[in-house]
Structure 1
Amino acid sequence: MSNKPTILFDLDGTLIDSTEAILNGFYKAFKEHNLTQPTKKQIYSLIGHPLEYMFASLGVPKHLIDSFILIYKDDYRQNYLSQTTLLPGGFEAVSKASKFANLGVVTTKTSLYSKNLLENLGILKYFSVVIGRDDVTHPKPNPEPILKALEVIGKTSNIYMIGDTPMDAKAAKSVGIFSIGVTCGYDSRENLELICDYVCSSALNAIEYIIAQNIVNL
């Protein structure tokens, strides 16, 4: 496997669209606590961060955050499979990448939800490792999740991280990994271009770029 590139994917906004399930979970938590619901824009701007950070950033008092998370997770658990789809080109991206690279997922979702989603969407079989929020002490933008994924995959010739937020790129850059930002998710091209090594519109475009860069070796 050492002669293959390694490609690590974020999930939300990169391969999958679980916006409906995420929004509904947040709305229910705020409703049950009789607090003013945040706007879609406010929630969008925080997707990719751990739940505790998201709720704190939306003004939830510290002593209530655990309760909010429990309500969110209960609602999410009931609906996430039916309310999550692959983004356009997502299946093609993973299928094509699996033909020449080692693949992994690095996400701030829990690994259980992530694996269930990937299985339900028909692409879990393509990944040799899935690292979720529950697998690490420090989530992205800390490099720990990426390093843990690479421990499982082993040494490779070159490594790429594909994600839709600067957090993905910051985690990648901290360990010298090439970062690709995709604009199909929750952050702007402008923000991604400030830190990513390359920016494109989708995971499939990212895979096509990687193929072009490695054509001599494929």
Structure 2
Amino acid sequence: MSGVMQGKTASHLRYEGVVFDLDGTLVDSYAAITECYNHACTSLGQPAVSPETVRGLVGHGLESLMEDAVGPAQVVRAVALFQERYDVICEERTTLLPGVAGTLPRLAAGGLRLGVATNKPTRFAVRILRALGLMPPVRAVLGPGEGIPPKPRPEMLLKVLADLGVSRRQALYVGDMEIDIETARRADVDVWVVPTGSCSRSQLMAASPDVLLGEFADLPRLLGARPAAGTDRS
């Protein structure tokens, strides 16, 4: 399915770098997040919830996720419990979303510099990307911490662009949630979204991205990327 344009024509776009969100955009990590969320909650006397419930809660950072579940008095302990379990299972219980494995090498082969800006802690994001064979082509990864606030604040996205050597006018951010659209708007960066995460197509359309993709694999065609030798074009 073709992407839906909102005020831009793909053939006129000339980007030098593309930064991606992680969960729901590049990877499906909902099983791992649900297991760790429920581990933390039940350890602190709160009920477990369904994967569908957790899917609707993620995207705003771990501290926010756990504070909503257990309250501010127990959030530090809840985050520690979550991370202890996630440290064990994050790689084995996270998978690439459809089209990602073939798309990122094609974008990199076309000369685009690729990065990730995510509300997941950086160390976990890097481990997952390496385990799934995405570093390279991904060259810069950043999550919240050490003076970098979580999205929708724009500092994280702007720091990744600086690390890539790409100006905001030559950059594209690709995500799957309304918070990604807000982050890009605050950073004054173009934003495309794909409906593979926590938000429906109608929710994403209502948030007015520049482009709503039909599927992730639409990216090379819309960005004019050539095939990468030896890679799957799906």
Asked if structure 2 preserves the Cα contact closer than 8 Å seen for 1:184 and 1:201, the reply is no
Size of the aligned set, in residue pairs, is 209
Partner SS, residue 153 of structure 2: coil
Q: Name the CA distance, whole Å, in 1 between partners of 2:166 and 2:85.
A: 39
1:144 aligns with one of 146, 149, 155:
155
1:181 aligns with one of 173, 181, 193:
193
- TM-score between the two structures when normalised by the length of structure 2: 0.84
Name 1:162's counterpart in structure 2: 174
Partner SS, residue 92 of structure 1: helix
Aligned residue identity for 2:105 = S
Over the matched positions of the two proteins, sequence identity in percent amounts to: 26
- 1:210 is displaced (CA, Å) by 2.3
| Distance 1:135-1:203 versus aligned 2 partners, 3 A rule | farther
- 1:204 is displaced (CA, Å) by 2.0
Q: Name the CA distance, whole Å, in 2 between partners of 1:63 and 1:176.
A: 36
Aligned residue identity for 1:91 = A
Q: Name the CA distance, whole Å, in 2 between partners of 1:152 and 1:135.
A: 16
Could you tell me which runs of 5 or more consecutive residues in structure 2 were left unpaired when the two chains were aligned.
1-13, 226-234
Aligned residue identity for 2:23 = D
Aligned residue identity for 2:223 = I
Name 1:71's counterpart in structure 2: 81
Name 1:125's counterpart in structure 2: 136
| Distance 1:193-1:125 versus aligned 2 partners, 3 A rule | same
- TM-score between the two structures when normalised by the length of structure 1: 0.89
Name 2:109's counterpart in structure 1: 99
Aligned residue identity for 1:143 = P
Could you tell me which runs of 5 or more consecutive residues in structure 1 were left unpaired when the two chains were aligned.
213-218
Deviations 1:59-112 (A, max 9, x none): x12110111111111111111111011111111111111112111100111111
Aligned residue identity for 2:175 = G
Aligned residue identity for 2:104 = V
2:40 aligns with one of 11, 14, 29:
29
Partner SS, residue 128 of structure 1: strand
Partner SS, residue 96 of structure 1: helix
Q: Which moved more, 1:150-159 or 1:5-14?
A: 150-159
Asked if structure 1 preserves the Cα contact closer than 8 Å seen for 2:19 and 2:117, the reply is yes
Asked if structure 2 preserves the Cα contact closer than 8 Å seen for 1:193 and 1:199, the reply is yes
Q: Name the CA distance, whole Å, in 1 between partners of 2:37 and 2:78.
A: 8
| Distance 1:4-1:205 versus aligned 2 partners, 3 A rule | closer
Q: Name the CA distance, whole Å, in 1 between partners of 2:146 and 2:205.
A: 29
1:199 aligns with 2:212: yes
Cα RMSD of the aligned pairs, angstroms, is 1.7
